[in-house]
Chain A
Amino acid sequence: MSTGDSVTAREGGNGASADGSPLLSLRGVGKNFGPVRALSHIDLDIPPGQITALAGDNGAGKSVTIKTISGLWPPDDGEIVWEGRSVRLHGPKDAEALGIRTIYQDLALCDNLDIVQNMFLGHEPLRRGVLDEDTMEIAARKTLDELRVRTIRSIRQPVASLSGGQRQSVAVAKAVLFDAKLVIMDEPTAALGVSQTRQVLDLIKRLSSQGVAVMVVSHNLNDVFEVADRIAVLYLGRMVAVDEASKFDRQSVVEYMTTGLSSRGLQTAGVGAGSNPQASERKQ
């Protein structure tokens, strides 16, 4: 990815196909940890410029799905299709090169580094072979201002000295610092106060209105229904429902999350039993 000159996600992401073909597709993706089958045969389409919410109970496999898309490990089965081409991600750099940016649930910050250093970690611009601190600091400050993160006294303070919500703000800022076509957020608002949550939700909407696809994990159904264009529900490592948000209501989402089935809503009763959830996509 380019660094120094391309600064925010705003400019990016418009090159996606307008013909309705998905930006990213998971086709039959499976992932095992030893005997634990964390994901089995996941099918999921992420359309460009839309907000896809990924729901599921604790341990359903949301974070594993996200890490697979982010290139942290190769899937054991199935394939990842990006803009129509099957891709193999050999590491996080590969996913980034495609335009995928991720906020991890554990935030993945280094406590001993300051805010600027964390935001640019792995993508430091150089000037005459030396770290270009000025450019980094200016860009970091601009992004934080745009997110209206105001409580941080100095962006040169180590991340260890930040509150949980401030750390989360830094992680969000880090993900939108560079151009992206797909921004993935694993519980981005979990530790945030009311106003910071509002900022992140607004940011998600702004990204999508600029053509950036967003995939967001949240346990807060209010947030999910507020922002999501589409909702996907995982249950014990299986994708039990994927459809437009308007086809769901709170109760059906909760039922899918807790039982893998829903008594009402969505004509996807068969999906819960483990058949191809892609069926629900086609019926819409």
Chain B
Amino acid sequence: MMDEPTSGPGTPADPPAASVAYQEPEEEVVEEEVIAQQQLATTAPDVLADSLREYLDAWWRRIRSGESGAVPVLIGLVLIVIFFQIEESTFLSAGNLVNLFVQASLYILFAAAEIYALLLSEIDLSVGAVAGVGAFVIAELIAPPVNLVWWLGIAGGLVVCAGIGLLQGTLITRLHIPSFIVTLGGLLGLTGVIIELAQIDKTAVGGVMSISTNSPVYNLVNANMSPTLSWIVLVIILGAYAALSIVSATRRRARGLSAPPTSIVLLKVALAAAGGVAVVIICTINRGAGLIALRGVPWVVPLVLLVIGAWSFLLSRTKLGRYIYAIGANPEAARRAGINVPWVRTIAFMLVAFTGGLAGLVYASRLGSIATDIDVGQLVLFAVAAAVIGGTSLFGGRGKMLHALLGGVVIAAVFNGLALMGISAAGVDIATAIVLILAVTVDSLVRRRGATGA
């Protein structure tokens, strides 16, 4: 370009030619078309396809190019289930599957908590300890002498957790201390707080606070919705999901905006319906032993779905969620866009702690008590492991709440299956480690192929 005739001294700049439309040279269009073709590979299928066929093509190209999404973990889950079913025929029995759902709900909540930190390319090591504190506060608020009504007790525990998150987030963002250090401090310090909490309360004999079996806090995990109610809730959830996705896709199509093809929308609704119906059927089979019938979906299952749904909504439909993704990928760009980066990061750490508090609630409910021997360090590791197995990146900006669901189920399946097989605690830990490393390896292999190939 530099060898064009130069404008001599005093040559005025070209007169503004805004109205003259520029004709693009043909060959360049062709060349850039090639680039556009190459980009197809990594683009979400929703935005490209006009038909089912095109959608599946785009989807398959995307998997081959490394944007594997949830596919590897789903395949892994199927393999794990097949393996355990061959080893132990009771694995797929209704009773065991319901047990597995309940186990999974704990890891799902922990992973959901940790995802907020991972999306920012941070880590929160304190989430297990925060859960322990939350569980103790709830247990003490609903027991004598305080005797608060159950929902106030839960609210109190969650507020305390969010407050801890606020404190940690403030230290991280205002004093610029790495989150690893602040939350490591949180892990250690809060472990001490848990012991103190157990000592304040005279009813906590030997560091164990038990939860009354009449309390809804206990019933969260240990009681079930009636089969009728289970079906009603399922129909409401599915109906809302179907209506929302069909209406929004139709409206966007009508306005000429990118939207997935109708067949895909219907397919997704059908898959969700199949999954939901399967879960409810499994849960409504009588799994009781002997004379006492035991059936229905445990209350914790809709709670977890509600949390995952709410957090998915927050991440994909609100400014806060969008800013969390932006900061995770490019904090400086977020700052230049005028985003209050320290505040968004602080709120994210509050969300970690709040969700950790919910996990603490489920933990205590399941045991019917909360004790000082809660292994807060191990719970954090499972939180991170579940999130990463589900597909969330450790490097920020990539992850979804759906990953918590998938990762939590995988971890629960491994624990549950190995326990059925009578494997020792040591064996369980080693197996979990192998699953984690395998998940990350598969993910990075697929991704690396995407980066170098395609």
Contact = CB atoms under 8 A, between A and B. Distances in A.
Interface in B21-46: 22, 24-25, 28-29, 32-33, 35-36, 39-44, 46
Contacts of A228: 13
Given A131-B317, A131-B319, A209 B326 contact: no
Contacts of A37: none
B422 interface: no
B322 A113 contact: yes
Interface in B329-356: 329-330, 332-339
Nearest to A126: B319
B290 interface: no
Interface in A25-55: 51
Contacts of B14: 205, 226-227
Interface in A102-130: 102, 104, 108-114, 117, 121-124, 126, 129-130
Contacts of A229: 13
Contacts of B29: 150-151
B35 A151 contact: yes
B325 A155 contact: no
Contacts of B339: 121-122
A184 to B, nearest CB: 12
B16 A209 contact: yes
A195 interface: yes
A196 B22 CA distance: 10
Given A153-B43, A158-B42, A249-B8, A92 B338 contact: yes
A91 interface: yes
B13 A225 contact: yes
A245 B319 CA distance: 44
B397 A111 contact: yes
A89 to B, nearest CB: 11
A187 interface: no
Nearest to B339: A122
B318 interface: yes
B13 A110 contact: no
A2 B411 CA distance: 47
Nearest to B399: A112
Contacts of B44: 156-158
B449 interface: no
Contact of A193 (B7, B28, B33): B28
Contact of A151 (B9, B33, B322, B338): B33
Contacts, number: 176
A109 B42 contact: no
Contacts of A249: 6-10
B257 A195 contact: no
A44 B26 CA distance: 42
Interface string A252-271: 10000000000001000000
Contact of B258 (A70, A155, A198, A221): A155
B206 interface: no
Contacts of A111: 329-330, 397
Contacts of B10: 246-247, 249
A148 B24 CA distance: 10
Which of B39, B317, B328, B397 has the most chain A CB within a 10 Å cutoff?
Answer: B39
B322 A108 contact: no
Contacts of A70: 336
B12 interface: yes
A225 B11 contact: yes
State the main secondary structure of chain B at its contact with A. Answer: loop
A152 interface: yes
Contacts of B251: 134
Contacts of A109: 330, 333
B172 to A, nearest CB: 20
B8 A227 contact: no
B28 to A, nearest CB: 6
A164 to B, nearest CB: 10
Given A92-B336, A112-B328, A130-B317, A206 B22 contact: no
Contacts of B11: 225, 246
A150 B32 CA distance: 9
B48 interface: yes
A117 B319 CA distance: 11
B174 interface: no
A252 B6 CA distance: 13
Nearest to B317: A130
A121 B326 contact: yes
Interface in A157-186: 157-158, 160-163, 166
A202 B17 contact: yes
A154 interface: yes
A122 B337 contact: yes
A265 B18 CA distance: 31
Contacts of A227: 13-14
A208 interface: yes
Contacts of A199: 22
A195 B335 contact: no
B397 A110 contact: yes
B340 to A, nearest CB: 9
Nearest to A152: B36
A104 B16 contact: no
Nearest to A162: B39
Interface string A219-261: 0111001111100000000000000011111101000000000
The 7 lowest CB-CB distance pairs between A and B, nearest first, are: A122-B337, A249-B9, A156-B47, A206-B18, A151-B32, A108-B333, A93-B338
Given A158-B42, A228-B13, 15 more contacts: A72-B336, A93-B338, A96-B338, A114-B47, A122-B334, A134-B251, A137-B257, A151-B33, A151-B36, A156-B44, A157-B44, A222-B2, A227-B14, A246-B10, A249-B8
25 contacts: A91-B338, A93-B338, A108-B332, A108-B333, A113-B325, A122-B338, A134-B257, A137-B257, A148-B22, A150-B24, A153-B39, A154-B48, A155-B258, A158-B43, A161-B39, A195-B28, A221-B2, A222-B1, A222-B4, A222-B6, A225-B6, A225-B7, A229-B13, A246-B11, A249-B10
Interface of B: 1-2, 4, 6-14, 16-18, 20, 22, 24-25, 28-29, 32-33, 35-36, 39-44, 46-48, 251-252, 255, 257-258, 317-319, 322, 325-326, 328-330, 332-339, 397-398
